[in-house]
Amino acid sequence: MITDPADSAPTTDDTNPLGEELREARAAAPCALVIFGATGDLTRRKLVPSLMGLAKDGLLPSAFAVVGFARRPWSDQKFRDTMLEGVREHGRSNTAESFEALSESFFYHEADFGEAEGYAGLKRRLEQLDHKLGTKGNRIYYLATPPSAYSVILEHLAEAGLSQEQDGRFARIIVEKPFGHDLATARALNDQIRRGFAERQVFRIDHYLGKETVQNILALRFGNGIFEPLWNEKFVDHVQITVAESIGVGTRGDYFEESGIIRDMIQNHLMQVMTLVAMEPPAALTADGVRDEKVKVLKAIQSFEPDEVEDSTVRAQYTRGSFGGEEVAGYLEEKGVASNSTTETFAAVRLQVENWRWGKTPFFLRSGKRLPRRVTEVAIHFKQPPHRLFTSGTPSSPNVLLLRVQPDEGVALRFGSKVPGPAMRIRDVRMDFRYGSAFGGETADAYERLLLDAMVGDGTLFARRDEVEEAWRIVDSIVAGWQQSGRRPATYAAGTWGPTGADQLLGPGRKWRKP
Ligand code: BG6
């Protein structure tokens, strides 16, 4: 393992990443956060616990209010009690104390998403809070409802004048995924948002971008001198991006039937990670500087012709299998799933970024449910040296630089080393950097970072309109190919690494890593 200076002699700055300097740099202005769909799971499981993580680190604005907007007949107190339970269950350690200190800034607004009076009432309530708590007319709206409610909420926000920014006050909107179902619906949603909000007011969440280790892709590539010179088709044979989950579709069968893994994971999380791996260095770390480069990657990937899809993708469904000796149901047996469903729970795709840097180097993206373990990683597989000098011992495998996004966050490098002894024998070894041992402490949830960025007004870690639409263009062409083929997806037993055909996608001499 590589030792880090911080392992042996921590300095004040190393142990306190949220020092005064950072706090000042990320100071959010006073504001009110309105959560639409506040009685849903996301609010108590993610949003409020993350807000309390920010409170614990002293990163919430000095004046702050949360207004839960939903239909259920809850009181302020019921809302506060439910959120406190959520923070206790899902928050970082000691965040329940932060909630107790802040609970009087949480309010519940009972209203129907489709009725104008609800928004007029919201406006009045927010103005009262401006006077009472000093939130200064700044608003952030969070769409945490099912997507079917987005349109009506957006329309009413605009009509009630709640989306307008006047006299230096801000009005921002955070939109949860799924962002559309295909290119046409994503465009329609973007057009609708545009009627009330300018692009700079819009924050499309992809929680993968809030993960520390995903952000570290930029730090690793552009904050060091040794990786970038190798980061191109001359040295990289191919790139594998894997997001594997051990869970099945659980209670989300109805939703998953409509989305499949390609829409649920690949269109957003995997493609976003890929753009960070493949992009050119931005001129500056500004929101548009970074996103301009990310979108160029997507633009350099051509849509598939229907007859190319079969060769460039693999899709499959899990069947009954076992986890740790326990038998689990197959996809077709899950609640909410049609018995003849063709929805894929595993997909792997080969993407070619057709530009100067990547030439013929392919990117392979794979994601699946009910795989043996939960792991997200990016593996950069380097080319073999041009001449094989060492022939004795196990042939060393190609060098791999592994960016482990979760769990065991870190970076590892696989290379060949001489086995001690009189013979010149080479074996693979690994240099390993682990976040936990280098930096210690609890890792903040991705939502903490993203909520803070939205409050600060920094859109770098949010998907821009053109990125979302380009990703849909590519995914639509894959889905069209699958539909035209009329074939059923392949199958894999739950608890295995996907269908056998997945290795063939990589081409001769390449194999998927077994993380
Ligand atoms: C969500 C998907 O966006 O991401 C889920 O809808 C998936 O199906 C989840 O389980 C995975 O997120 P994470 O952070 O647990 O890897």
Residue 19 and residue 78 in one domain: yes
Residue 296 lies in a domain: yes
Using CA positions, which residue lies closest to atom 8 of ligand 1? 264
pLDDT the model gives residue 443: 80
Residue 139 and residue 242 in one domain: no
Atom in ligand 1 nearest the alpha carbon of residue 207: 14
Residue 274 lies in a domain: yes
pLDDT (tens digit per residue) in 468-498: 999 999 999 999 999 999 899 999 999 999 9
Residue 130 and residue 247 in one domain: no
In angstroms, rounded to a whole number, what is the distance separating the alpha carbons of residues 169 and 173? Answer: 14
Cα–Cα–Cα angle for 269, 272, 276, nearest 5°?
Answer: 135
CA R_g for the chain: 24
Atom in ligand 1 nearest the alpha carbon of residue 245: 10
Residue 349 lies in a domain: yes
Using CA positions, which residue lies closest to atom 13 of ligand 1? 208
pLDDT the model gives residue 392: 61
Atom in ligand 1 nearest the alpha carbon of residue 259: 6
Tokens of 116: 């104008």
* Candidate from 46, 241, 245, 448 with most ligand 1 atoms within 8 A of CB, to mutate: 245
**Of 348, 382, 361, 3, residue with least CA distance to 230:** 382
Distance (angstroms) between ligand 1 centre and the Cα of 208 equals: 9
Residue 284 lies in a domain: yes
Q: Whole-number mean pLDDT of the chain?
A: 93
Residues in the chain: 515
User: pLDDT at residue 14 above 50?
Assistant: no
CATH of the domain at 246: 3.30.360.10
* Mean per-residue pLDDT, 500-509: 91
**Residue 22 banded pLDDT, cuts 50, 70, 90:** low
User: pLDDT at residue 117 above 50?
Assistant: yes
pLDDT the model gives residue 5: 44
Q: Which of 155, 176, 197 is the last residue of a domain?
A: 176
* Mean per-residue pLDDT, 285-301: 97
Distance (angstroms) between ligand 1 centre and the Cα of 243 equals: 9
Distance (angstroms) between ligand 1 centre and the Cα of 46 equals: 12
H/E segment holding residue 178: none
- Residue 39 and residue 74 in contact, taking contact as beta carbons nearer than 8 Å: yes
pLDDT the model gives residue 313: 98
User: pLDDT at residue 8 above 50?
Assistant: no
Residue 154 and residue 292 in one domain: no
Distance (angstroms) between ligand 1 centre and the Cα of 324 equals: 22
Residue 118 and residue 232 in one domain: no
pLDDT the model gives residue 4: 45
Cα–Cα–Cα angle for 390, 395, 399, nearest 5°?
Answer: 95
> How far from 380 is each of 10, 90, 208, 243, 281, CA to CA, in Å?
31, 34, 19, 15, 18
Residue 125 and residue 239 in one domain: no
- Residue 304 and residue 491 in contact, taking contact as beta carbons nearer than 8 Å: no
Residue 186 lies in a domain: no
pLDDT the model gives residue 394: 58
Mention every residue, 6+ apart, whose C-beta is less than 8 A from residue 269. 206, 207, 208, 243, 367
Give me the percent of the chain exceeding a pLDDT of 90: 84
Query: Is residue 387 annotated as part of the catalytic site, yes or no?
Result: no
pLDDT (tens digit per residue) in 229-247: 999 999 999 999 999 999 9
Residue 454 lies in a domain: yes
Q: Which of 176, 200, 225 is the last residue of a domain?
A: 176
Mention every residue, 6+ apart, whose C-beta is less than 8 A from residue 463. 179, 204, 206, 209, 268, 272, 291
pLDDT the model gives residue 21: 61
CATH of the domain at 86: 3.40.50.720
- Regarding the beta carbon of 344 and ligand 1, being less than 6 Å apart is answered no
pLDDT (tens digit per residue) in 169-227: 999 999 999 999 999 999 999 999 999 999 999 999 999 999 999 999 999 999 999 99
Residue 229 and residue 164 in one domain: no
* Mean per-residue pLDDT, 99-121: 96
Distance (angstroms) between ligand 1 centre and the Cα of 244 equals: 10
Residue 149 and residue 230 in one domain: no
Residue 276 and residue 146 in one domain: no
* Mean per-residue pLDDT, 349-360: 97
Cα–Cα–Cα angle for 155, 159, 160, nearest 5°?
Answer: 120
Count of domains for the chain: 2
- Regarding the beta carbon of 409 and ligand 1, being less than 6 Å apart is answered no
What's the 3-state SS for 153-173?
HHHHHHHCCCCCCCCCCCEEE
- Regarding the beta carbon of 245 and ligand 1, being less than 6 Å apart is answered yes
* Candidate from 42, 264, 318, 375 with most ligand 1 atoms within 8 A of CB, to mutate: 264
In angstroms, rounded to a whole number, what is the distance separating the alpha carbons of residues 353 and 301? Answer: 5
In angstroms, rounded to a whole number, what is the distance separating the alpha carbons of residues 410 and 432? Answer: 7
- Regarding the beta carbon of 57 and ligand 1, being less than 6 Å apart is answered no
Residue 118 and residue 215 in one domain: no
Residue 293 and residue 426 in one domain: yes
Residue 305 and residue 231 in one domain: yes
Mention every residue, 6+ apart, whose C-beta is less than 8 A from residue 261. 315, 344, 345, 346, 347, 367, 368, 369
**Residue 82 banded pLDDT, cuts 50, 70, 90:** very high
- Regarding the beta carbon of 264 and ligand 1, being less than 6 Å apart is answered yes
User: pLDDT at residue 270 above 50?
Assistant: yes
pLDDT the model gives residue 19: 56
Atom in ligand 1 nearest the alpha carbon of residue 177: 3
- Regarding the beta carbon of 176 and ligand 1, being less than 6 Å apart is answered no
**Lowest pLDDT segment from 27-31, 98-102, 119-123, 387-391:** 387-391
**Residue 260 banded pLDDT, cuts 50, 70, 90:** very high
Predicted structure pTM score:
0.93
DSSP state of 104: G
What is the span of the domain harbouring residue 332? Answer: 210-505
Atom in ligand 1 nearest the alpha carbon of residue 446: 14
pLDDT the model gives residue 153: 98
Atom in ligand 1 nearest the alpha carbon of residue 208: 14
* Mean per-residue pLDDT, 313-330: 94
* Candidate from 177, 207, 211 with most ligand 1 atoms within 8 A of CB, to mutate: 207
Residue 189 lies in a domain: no
Q: Which of the residues 109, 156, 238, 269 is marked catalytic?
A: 269
Axis crossing angle, helix 446-456 with helix 48-56, rounded to the nearest 10: 80
- Give φ, ψ of 465 to 5 degrees: -50, -50
Distance (angstroms) between ligand 1 centre and the Cα of 207 equals: 9
pLDDT the model gives residue 370: 97
Distance (angstroms) between ligand 1 centre and the Cα of 223 equals: 29
Strand 410-418 and strand 313-319: the pairing is unpaired
Residue 473 lies in a domain: yes
Distance (angstroms) between ligand 1 centre and the Cα of 245 equals: 8
pLDDT the model gives residue 12: 36
Helix (H, G, I), strand (E, B) or coil at 347: strand
